[in-house]
Structure 1
């Protein structure tokens, strides 16, 4: 029988192979047909200018972005589930996506022209909206000096999410057609139209914050215990929850800012990883990140393939997988 470390290496190797396979499939999918030999030749520096732009500036950039968005959302969801000690928690359920979405809608609603935005405008506003939403939810979950109840945190997040979504709908109905299309596309979730500049914004955030969380895996293991046990082992519950919540919000906020309001990745990926390897964050976090990357890259590939040459938005494909899986988790969760 394999030890947990052997299982971890076996699952990690399998996930890396699957991820490389879906990344290659995504690179192979597009408006122009390419043989395997042509694609490999272009990737290694061959091909003409048009082929180079097609592969590197359109296909590769969205594939790399899908990897980082999937990893960031998955790890963020894992932290939310650890902080709340609830497998149903995720950035989309706890108000982060809704807060970022409201920030984006407010920006589009009051901006005179979206063409004048700098590349940092949308990420900054979306992350600010996500952080403000998280701080509000955290503040409303506090009761004096008491330890914050994970259940109260979840219920507050769900309630505030509903409120943010209602405000979004109210504003969206008053947008002109061009702005409505922009907001609607972002709300569903897509990585189409992004550039390497977006990769340079997102990649350092995901890598640095993920490494910080991984370096604190022992703290996260303690935080997943009962409050009394964790406090007995020296954990400052409220402070730890606040710090890790903010890190998770930053991760999700940047991913949502660039990829749109993609749901379910932060719910499904940690759940699958926990079933495969357990809740030790030393193994749990890396496997969660790989599963999230596979999910987003795979969804992007399916969305581009199923009705080619047109495409289905990434968020729709993930929702088609995520909604039934959410119901499955709900059915399996003990009341």
Structure 2
């Protein structure tokens, strides 16, 4: 039962996080190689902008910003699910190797169809999902021990080892690539937001539109599974069935997100921890805050990387890693 005081405080935090996300959105739109003043944002959105303002907003800025927000939300929720169903505070789709598995199949997609937008683009998240699922199945099989289940430490080590193996396979493939394909791979691996076209937004959006409401619907199940196995069974939760379903949803969110955003790690680690510290562990309040912080973190990283140097900028994945890697080491030492 959530107390009225805690609920009111959580609603204030949710609204404040949303306002902060809107602020970062406005800053991201207004900054860059070609500037668009904040006071012209709303008129341009409403169709009253000049030809230059329309070009800047609708062609160059808005698709990339939406990809950063949506992918950040997907990665954050994926990490939140993994941490709950495994009861492992270090779980993150990037650290466990799920992103790398998805990335391997993204590279296969590029080798088959090229990296230009077209009719095949809507298959890209599906390719990434297959790679992420195969990786998740291997992690589960290698982490599971009869009579003990999945131990968090074992799962982490297996995931890190599998990620290293997949990255080795990616480097082997990269050595056989043509120059254009290798440039794409290098940008993807560094975590550069490469899906900067409306087609990429439309390829990612249906996955989130289906999976986010479904995960929120499973909030009570996640609440019980985050506690312990015996309590979940005692409350009537079919833990094995629910774990498989939620794992599939987590992998789908991560795979669809990295397929258009690049190999970005630590969002799924940082955003859930920040949200949990602000509103507590109940998923009805925790999930919306985690999703917004995921979008906020990735959009902020992409904006800083895009503005800090020039139009080429620093990949968002590199900037997130500067924050995420030390925090991961801190959690490793603490736990």
Pairing 1:82–2:84 present = yes
Gaps of 5+ in 2: none
Q: Is the 8 A contact 1:94 1:154 kept in 2?
A: yes
Q: Is the 8 A contact 2:17 2:293 kept in 1?
A: yes
Pairing 1:42–2:44 present = yes
Deviations 1:279-311 (A, max 9, x none): 111111111011111101111111111113442
Deviations 1:171-206 (A, max 9, x none): 222323221111111111222452222212212211
Q: Which residue of 2 aligns with 1:26?
A: 28
> Greater CA deviation, 217-226 or 119-128?
119-128
**1:113–1:232 CA distance, 2 compared to 1 (3 A):** closer
User: 2-side partners of 1:313 and 1:72: how far apart?
Assistant: 18
Pick the aligned partner of 2:159 from 137, 157, 160: 157
User: 1-side partners of 2:79 and 2:60: how far apart?
Assistant: 28
Q: Which residue of 2 aligns with 1:248?
A: 250
Q: Which residue of 1 aligns with 2:126?
A: 124
SS of the residue corresponding to residue 66 of structure 1 reads helix
Q: Which residue of 2 aligns with 1:184?
A: 186
Pick the aligned partner of 2:75 from 70, 73, 76: 73
Q: Is the 8 A contact 2:194 2:262 kept in 1?
A: no
User: 1-side partners of 2:250 and 2:72: how far apart?
Assistant: 13
Gaps of 5+ in 1: none
Q: How many residues align?
A: 332
User: 1-side partners of 2:187 and 2:282: how far apart?
Assistant: 37
User: 2-side partners of 1:235 and 1:184: how far apart?
Assistant: 44
CA RMSD across the alignment: 2.2
User: 2-side partners of 1:148 and 1:115: how far apart?
Assistant: 41
> Greater CA deviation, 177-186 or 15-24?
177-186
Q: Which residue of 1 aligns with 2:17?
A: 15
For normalisation by structure 1, the TM-score amounts to 0.91
**1:203–1:144 CA distance, 2 compared to 1 (3 A):** same
User: 2-side partners of 1:265 and 1:203: how far apart?
Assistant: 19
User: 2-side partners of 1:2 and 1:144: how far apart?
Assistant: 43
Pick the aligned partner of 1:280 from 276, 282, 285: 282
Q: Is the 8 A contact 1:89 1:154 kept in 2?
A: yes
For normalisation by structure 2, the TM-score amounts to 0.91
Q: Which residue of 2 aligns with 1:301?
A: 303
SS of the residue corresponding to residue 240 of structure 1 reads helix
SS of the residue corresponding to residue 121 of structure 2 reads coil
